[in-house]
Chain A
Amino acid sequence: GENVEQHPSTLSVQEGDSAVIKCTYSDSASNYFPWYKQELGKRPQLIIDIRSNVGEKKDQRIAVTLNKTAKHFSLHITETQPEDSAVYFCAAGGFGADGLTFGKGTHLIIQP
């Protein structure tokens, strides 16, 4: 089955700086890679996703890159703001899978 590793487990950055969270996956059949944000006490919510026919996708301050050869994908947040503080989960899945396999999460802390 799929195995997703996520690093770092905790990331602290100064407000206004960039943050990068990295994930690796094991199953070369995986072709869908979403990122979820979970604020304290709230439900996970999809913030961006990427499919294997695309190498990069951007939505305002958030971008995701995918390297299928190396089996890794990353979340980039630029000009971080206090409301970016949350736990971020990466996930991977492919055709035929019963569901997504999630990483352990990264606790992003934005320092004022």
Chain B
Amino acid sequence: ETGVTQTPRHLVMGMTNKKSLKCEQHLGHNAMYWYKQSAKKPLELMFVYSLEERVENNSVPSRFSPECPNSSHLFLHLHTLQPEDSALYLCASSQDRGVTDTQYFGPGTRLTVL
């Protein structure tokens, strides 16, 4: 499956490191999303971009910083993370921002914060 790709697939980082997660979609979609998937918790929507404009999400800590340079690419910049941030980070895209548009997920980045 090559519709939505994510790199790296696995990442181990210390609490003082700075790293970035990358997502790329080849589906011509206009909306992209970052989700956090922790064990025994629902998928948590972190950020939404529609036509490269970000929808504010005030509940996400500022140590997570998204960037969407164009409609095909989405980044999640990480700095001074905490161990509880360890999780699977999933990127998704949909044709448009509408809730009823099917979301296509990437394979995820398994992040471990030491």
Name A's B-contacting residues (CB within 8 A): 4, 9, 31-32, 34, 36, 42-46, 49, 51, 89, 91, 93-95, 97-105
Contacts and interface: CB of A to CB of B under 8 A. Distances in A.
Please classify how large the interface on chain B is, using the bins under 10, 10 to 19, 20 to 34, 35 or more: 20 to 34
A-B CB proximity, top 6 nearest: A93-B99, A102-B43, A43-B105, A102-B42, A99-B45, A32-B100
Contact of B48 (A32, A91, A98, A102): A98
| Interface residue SS majority, chain A | strand
B99 A94 contact: yes
A42 B103 CA distance: 15
A42 B108 CA distance: 8
Nearest to B101: A32
Interface of B: 1, 4, 33, 40-43, 45, 48, 55, 57, 90, 97, 99-100, 102-108
Nearest to B33: A99
Contacts of A97: 99
A10 to B, nearest CB: 11
Nearest to A90: B42
Given A89-B43, A98-B45, A44 B107 contact: no
B103 A46 contact: yes
Nearest to B46: A99
